[in-house]
A and B are shown apart, each in its own frame.
Chain A
Amino acid sequence: DIVMTQSPDSLAVSLGERATINCKSSQSVLYSSNNKNYLAWYQQKSGQPPKVLIYWASTRESGVPDRFSGSGSGTDFTLTISSLQAEDVAVYYCQHYYSTPYTFGQGTQLEIK
């Protein structure tokens, strides 16, 4: 099974500042046949279901603000929030969908400093 490890576990950032969350997979999630990374990022606010932000490692879901961006390839990935807003307080998860089981990272709690 592919293990997803996020860092840090929690993060406090000032409003308007950049937030960066990292995700590392125990093996590559890059599918060579189509050159796509099978990696998604989700945001979960308190008491709500998760919401997909980014898929294929760097494709922003429709309606997601452009301050959210995803990067990386192979085994190392990053979610960046360029200018933190109050409504971005949430837990963020990475997940691979390269092969079953489709495991999630342990989550990163993002708070306002």
Chain B
Amino acid sequence: QVQLVESGGGVVQPGRSLRLSCAASGFTFNTYPMHWVRQAPGKGLEWVAVTSYDGNNKYYADSVKGRFTISRDNSKNTLSLQMNSLRAEDTAVYYCARSGVAGTGVCCYMDVWGKGTTVTVSS
């Protein structure tokens, strides 16, 4: 079945780096835009980044621009999020999500979500 499984979360000190991964299965990964969305403890959802199906187009939330990099390896059906210069406010559950429409730039809504991986930034 269609599945997304995130990994790589953990506890990290402010200013350090962490790399999240998302393993996709059950669908043709290289035809879908993919997103990262996060949720701070007890808070709402925050869209983080999106990459086009081919990885050529990437967009970020202002809160992470210049610090986070989204990437994908279509040969391995894997989405990644490289997080540098981490701050306390980056503490959240990070979800990987599939766009609901294949092959449409960086659109659209998210129709498949992973269970999330928790990142805690603390000294």
Contact surface of A with B, Cβ cutoff 8 Å? 1, 38, 40, 42, 44, 49-52, 55, 61, 91, 93, 95, 97, 100-107
B102 contacts chain A at the CB level, 8 A cutoff: no
- Whether A101 contacts B109 by the Cβ 8 Å rule is no
Chain A residues with Cβ below 8 Å from B111 are: 52, 55, 61
Bound: A113/B104 CA distance, A: 42
Task: Label chain A's interface by main secondary structure.
Answer: loop
- Whether B107 contacts A49 by the Cβ 8 Å rule is no
Residue of B nearest to A91 (CB): B44
Give the contacting residue for A95; candidates B47, B50, B113; CB below 8 A: B47
Bound: A103/B59 CA distance, A: 13
- Whether B100 contacts A102 by the Cβ 8 Å rule is no
- Whether A38 contacts B44 by the Cβ 8 Å rule is no
- Whether A97 contacts B44 by the Cβ 8 Å rule is no
12 A-B pairs within 8 Å (CB atoms) are namely A40-B109, A49-B95, A49-B113, A49-B116, A52-B109, A52-B110, A55-B111, A93-B45, A104-B45, A104-B46, A107-B44, A107-B45
- Whether B44 contacts A106 by the Cβ 8 Å rule is yes
Chain B residues with Cβ below 8 Å from A105 are: 44
